[in-house]
A and B are shown apart, each in its own frame.
Chain A
């Protein structure tokens, strides 16, 4: 069965406290922390971008897969902070990874679900037998206009997913995608920072699309929230994923391991998948993981995974890695994000 053979992630070591940003703008830090349910966010350094982070995550994903490296027939990278408007990043990363040249490559964009859409496409290529393995990365050095509310949550991070049919750690049991023309968040061509429509990003956008995708997948798979052990949702802030989980009937415990946004922020296309990475540190054989991403514009990709006994040998340490961090000031943050 098609599934995930291996995975990797990259979280930059720099963190900025929500309070540091709030104090900069003379806002009440405690109120913002409480409202967003966030404490800090990860920030890529000045010499890091979505390319370097995608590479780092991919290196981890392929570390134990040297034999498969040359068999990868598709390389997809999802992001909303590509450094080029025209020029693929997927080929750069594939080149640095020394994957050879017989692969299909493209970059995908669909706001925060750019990576998960690519993951579904890649799974179909693998399932059809057209390619034996595919590498999918999600990576963002998410930026926000200074003083915009997004500035508190937009973070940095990347993850990479090797798909195949043999030896998988996660079986992809099914998926459902729900999409509509809902302009809740966007970045115009040549614009430096994204725009968003305030609370419109909530009920008609994030909640509507995740609810539709998730309930359709549950129906397809004939499961309820009680049947799965772990639930993972896109994390634009600390409030939304808990709310949508509750609406769908999941408990706080089911979401628990994936809920990394209070410490890491929203790494856009890598956000929901980072929740999956965090969950894999604890998931056990035969457990079910329910997953739903969200991308503004808008759509949600819901997926259901089953953990196999192979996870044990490829499990990655996550909590220990993210605990290794360095706090930065607002001035350093501006510098690292290349704003000044």
Chain B
């Protein structure tokens, strides 16, 4: 029996304002796309894990399992996973758990979100449904939550908005090389600083966009399939949770769920931080990437602002650790259910040498970090080749 779980294929739709695509269209394109790149038939799939946050709120679509069954003509188990912006990451983690108890199995993990069929007010309200009910009722939105985290961080460690802006500059530069990215253009520090405020001190260009998109992976523990496909091993996929109410968090300059999930993931994977060369982290707002690098244990608490300003994780930095080669949520886009899958997919492409123009030099270990509900859930996954 093979105890190794591997990723053997990845497909993503373009991310962006896909006006002519419905949630069905996106799911179907990702489903058919990943089967095509792996040369598998749908009959080869034993279960589907679907990450989607907003179908029930925006599209009035609950019981997405049966919906996907109708779209694909499948009768196998289909699990719909919802963990806000970590829906994709948790779908992946759940699929990995499934493989642990189902030998000789192959599963399809798909994350999809349709966000642009409603206006900004409606989608902001829908996203805020994943916040604490009490805090929603007093008007706290996700930009508001991250704005508070950013204010605390800048104040506590003496940084400025320019330090935050560096994250967006780096991720936009990375996104230029990603043919599926929502935005493929460079931005400068001045561009970020001159963009309008969303929630002080965060501005439009500190924030990930509202995107449509879907992404899918094939996971297997079948040796026969691993041998015939470019594959990356799942060394760990761990989840941690935390209180959803911001007011009940122990502190606001760190996401505890990220810290705990990372510790578990490194323990399980038996790798050290220094072994990781590539990361896709959850940069829903610029401050989130700084907190992520600190909470994942790569930067010392309070040093993130300075490290961000040095662009120390840029592909052009010559550093041994490059972060968000896809462009991150900021430039690649953030179709919330799809994001966690895209992060893993980007690592898979890079680790198997299939990342095309944005391929980094040899990398053997990558980490993906997906957050839901501003830290209510965090999933940390580590892949290796």
Residues of the A chain whose Cβ atoms lie less than 8 Å from the Cβ of B318: none
Chain A, Cβ-Cβ closest to B20: A204
In addition to A31-B194, A197-B119, A198-B120, 13 A-B residue pairs with Cβ atoms within 8 Å of each other are: A27-B196, A28-B196, A28-B197, A31-B195, A31-B196, A198-B119, A199-B17, A200-B17, A200-B19, A200-B116, A203-B19, A204-B19, A204-B20
Interchain CA distance A283-B116 in the complex, whole Å: 43
> What are 6 contact pairs spanning A and B, CB under 8 A?
A28-B197, A31-B196, A198-B120, A203-B19, A204-B19, A204-B20
B71 to chain A, nearest CB (A): 24
A235 to chain B, nearest CB (A): 23
B164 to chain A, nearest CB (A): 18
B344 to chain A, nearest CB (A): 29
Which of chain B's residues 97-120 have a Cβ closer than 8 Å to chain A? 116, 119-120
Interchain CA distance A27-B366 in the complex, whole Å: 42
Chain A, Cβ-Cβ closest to B118: A197
Interchain CA distance A27-B19 in the complex, whole Å: 29
Residues of the A chain whose Cβ atoms lie less than 8 Å from the Cβ of B119: 197-198
Residues of the B chain whose Cβ atoms lie less than 8 Å from the Cβ of A199: 17
Chain B binding surface, main DSSP class = loop
A239 to chain B, nearest CB (A): 15
Residues of the A chain whose Cβ atoms lie less than 8 Å from the Cβ of B195: 31
Residues of the A chain whose Cβ atoms lie less than 8 Å from the Cβ of B197: 28
Contact with A along B354-373 (1 / 0, CB 8 A): 00000000000000000000
Chain B, Cβ-Cβ closest to A27: B196
Which of chain A's residues 175-216 have a Cβ closer than 8 Å to chain B? 197-200, 203-204
Which of chain B's residues 190-208 have a Cβ closer than 8 Å to chain A? 194-197
Interchain CA distance A198-B17 in the complex, whole Å: 11
Interchain CA distance A203-B196 in the complex, whole Å: 22
Which of chain B's residues 1-51 have a Cβ closer than 8 Å to chain A? 17, 19-20
Chain B, Cβ-Cβ closest to A28: B196
Contact with A along B56-94 (1 / 0, CB 8 A): 000000000000000000000000000000000000000
Contact with A along B211-240 (1 / 0, CB 8 A): 000000000000000000000000000000
Interchain CA distance A199-B19 in the complex, whole Å: 10
Q: Which 9 A-B pairs have the closest CB atoms?
A: A204-B19, A31-B196, A28-B196, A200-B19, A198-B120, A198-B119, A199-B17, A31-B194, A197-B119
A284 to chain B, nearest CB (A): 40
B200 to chain A, nearest CB (A): 12
Residues of the A chain whose Cβ atoms lie less than 8 Å from the Cβ of B19: 200, 203-204
B22 to chain A, nearest CB (A): 14
B302 to chain A, nearest CB (A): 31
Interchain CA distance A203-B18 in the complex, whole Å: 11
Chain A, Cβ-Cβ closest to B119: A198
Residues of the B chain whose Cβ atoms lie less than 8 Å from the Cβ of A31: 194-196
A28 to chain B, nearest CB (A): 6
Residues of the A chain whose Cβ atoms lie less than 8 Å from the Cβ of B116: 200
Interchain CA distance A197-B120 in the complex, whole Å: 9
Which of chain B's residues 115-152 have a Cβ closer than 8 Å to chain A? 116, 119-120
A215 to chain B, nearest CB (A): 20
Chain B, Cβ-Cβ closest to A34: B194
Residues of the B chain whose Cβ atoms lie less than 8 Å from the Cβ of A27: 196
B14 to chain A, nearest CB (A): 14
Chain B, Cβ-Cβ closest to A196: B119
Which of chain A's residues 26-78 have a Cβ closer than 8 Å to chain B? 27-28, 31
Interchain CA distance A31-B197 in the complex, whole Å: 11
Interchain CA distance A78-B187 in the complex, whole Å: 43
Residues of the A chain whose Cβ atoms lie less than 8 Å from the Cβ of B194: 31
Chain A, Cβ-Cβ closest to B17: A199
With a 10 A CB-CB cut-off, give which of A27, A28, A198, A203 has the most chain B CB atoms.
Answer: A198
Residues of the A chain whose Cβ atoms lie less than 8 Å from the Cβ of B17: 199-200
Residues of the A chain whose Cβ atoms lie less than 8 Å from the Cβ of B20: 204
With a 10 A CB-CB cut-off, give which of B17, B19, B20, B116 has the most chain A CB atoms.
Answer: B19
Interchain CA distance A197-B118 in the complex, whole Å: 8
Chain B, Cβ-Cβ closest to A31: B196
Chain A, Cβ-Cβ closest to B194: A31
B133 to chain A, nearest CB (A): 27
Which of chain B's residues 156-214 have a Cβ closer than 8 Å to chain A? 194-197
